[in-house]
């Protein structure tokens, strides 16, 4: 369209209104006659790829909690947070730290938690150097419920209403600021409600920051972990735990609704014990290397070393199920960003009495892991290899034990002084 002596009145049809104006208004210039009243550009439809989380759950079904956690952080960055209840799901925070990525943690303070739980929150914040983002129930709602029904009405008419006010609604507010969240749910926690949970899913109940169905993704990295293995992991990593656990508490919630369990009882029997055992919910939750690969690790087949020991000192950790790595071999293992199978490697000196003391348990570990998909190795880190081990392999003292995950070049150092085979197995099982 052209303009002559005077402004033209432009009539846009309904179809024309679909165009996005860039400059909807213009200024007249006495010396220049404008050639157009508006410059428009068509809107471009952007194709958004939708993640298939059912397929992703199948792909991650046999992955370790560490790998699942790392994938979650990779996808969602600062828009994902860990839901921390103050119980054994402190394992989630430990896994998060081990990924080396930044992470957020939030928790629901119902106002009725045990004193031990509050002290545990403080210990966790100090141990990890984090600030937990606390969510509180609406004071007016709590006040109205307590005034009309009393402090302990849930013993008579069930826990759902109290949990809805003190937990579900605060959680809903927290999740509206996120695109994904991480929970500590395990399949073995509850016989009636958690046996089929996937490691990742579109949240069927809550909404995320974008709003609507499918706007929030729920990650359950520990879904396939058994309770005993979770506790072995916590012990192996020397993380703080709620002191209530030593008093017989396993699953911990609010003080009036949680009690210790007896030997042989299921862990959820300590929660809402006056109700049906199948309804124990509060409303929050409705690889092998081939021979050529091995040769590459050992420096194109020329790096593998055998027992050579120092003068007068025999070498240790000798087994057919254990790989003896040279400096080139451990260097190549360190540089691999993606491995076909994980490795556990001990950095040792044959003259060290502490290394000699753990020889039996480490050889037993190698025997147990033979054929399991986890390779067991050793690297002699005294002599010429000591400086390299200090700078690149976190060597502080002998022995130092490292785990090399499949998906990351960053090795994880075993932090405990417990070197029995059960503790070492717990470390491996938690991370592989």
Residues known to be catalytic: 352, 355
Distances (CA, A) of 149 to 138, 322, 340: 17, 65, 59
177: DSSP letter: T
User: What is the CB neighbour count within 10 angstroms for residue 396?
Assistant: 10
User: Quick check: 199 and 68 in contact, CB under 8 A?
Assistant: yes
Given CA atoms 112, 115, 117, 118 in this order, what sign does their dihedral have? positive
User: Quick check: 331 and 391 in contact, CB under 8 A?
Assistant: no
The residue among 11, 182, 21, 24 whose CA lies nearest residue 103 is 182
Read off the tokens for 143: 């006040």
Give all strands (DSSP E) within 129-241, no chain letters: 133-135, 180-182, 200-202, 217-219
The residue among 160, 116, 114, 108 whose CA lies nearest residue 138 is 108
Helix locations, 150-254, DSSP H: 154-157, 160-163, 169-175, 227-237
Distances (CA, A) of 394 to 334, 347, 388, 409: 12, 10, 9, 14
């Amino acid at each position: 369209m052209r303009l002559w002596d005077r402004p033209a009145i432009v009539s846009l049809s309904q179809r024309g209104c679909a165009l996005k104006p860039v400059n909807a208004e213009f200024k007249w210039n006495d010396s220049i006659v404008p050639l157009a009243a508006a410059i428009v550009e068509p809107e471009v439809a952007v194709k958004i790829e939708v993640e298939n989380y059912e397929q992703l759950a199948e792909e991650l079904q046999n992955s370790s909690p560490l790998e699942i956690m790392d994938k979650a952080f990779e996808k969602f960055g600062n828009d994902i947070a860990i839901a921390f209840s103050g119980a054994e799901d402190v394992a989630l925070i430990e896994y998060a730290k081990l990924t080396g990525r930044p992470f957020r943690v939030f928790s629901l303070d119902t106002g009725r938690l045990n004193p031990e739980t509050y002290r545990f929150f403080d210990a966790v914040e100090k141990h990890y150097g984090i600030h937990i983002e606390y969510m509180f129930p609406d004071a007016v709602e709590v006040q109205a419920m307590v005034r009309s029904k009393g402090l302990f009405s849930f013993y008579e008419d069930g826990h759902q209403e109290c949990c809805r006010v003190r937990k579900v609604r605060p959680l809903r507010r927290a999740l509206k600021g996120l695109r994904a969240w991480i929970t500590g749910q395990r399949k073995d926690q509850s016989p009636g409600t958690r046996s089929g949970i996937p490691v990742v899913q579109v949240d069927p109940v809550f909404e995320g920051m974008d709003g609507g169905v499918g706007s929030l993704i729920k990650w359950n990295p520990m879904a396939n972990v058994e309770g005993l293995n979770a506790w072995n992991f916590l012990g192996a990593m020397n993380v703080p735990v709620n002191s209530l656990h030593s008093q017989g508490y396993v699953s911990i919630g609010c003080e009036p609704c949680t009690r210790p369990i007896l030997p042989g009882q299921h862990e959820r029997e300590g929660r809402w014990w006056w109700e049906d055992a199948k309804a124990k919910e509060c409303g929050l939750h409705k690889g092998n290397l081939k021979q050529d690969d091995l040769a590459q690790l050992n420096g194109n087949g020329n790096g593998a070393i055998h027992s050579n020991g120092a003068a007068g000192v025999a070498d240790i950790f000798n087994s057919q199920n254990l790989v003896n790595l040279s400096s080139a071999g451990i260097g190549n293992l360190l540089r691999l960003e993606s491995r076909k199978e994980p490795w556990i490697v001990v950095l040792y000196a044959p003259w060290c009495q502490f290394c000699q003391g753990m020889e039996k348990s480490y050889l037993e570990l190698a025997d147990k892991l033979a054929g399991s998909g986890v390779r067991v190795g050793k690297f002699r880190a005294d002599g010429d290899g000591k400086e390299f081990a200090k700078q690149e392999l976190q060597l502080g003292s002998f022995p130092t034990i490292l785990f090399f995950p499949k998906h990351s070049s960053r090795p994880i150092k075993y932090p405990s002084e417990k070197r029995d085979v059960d503790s070492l197995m717990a470390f491996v099982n938690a991370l592989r």
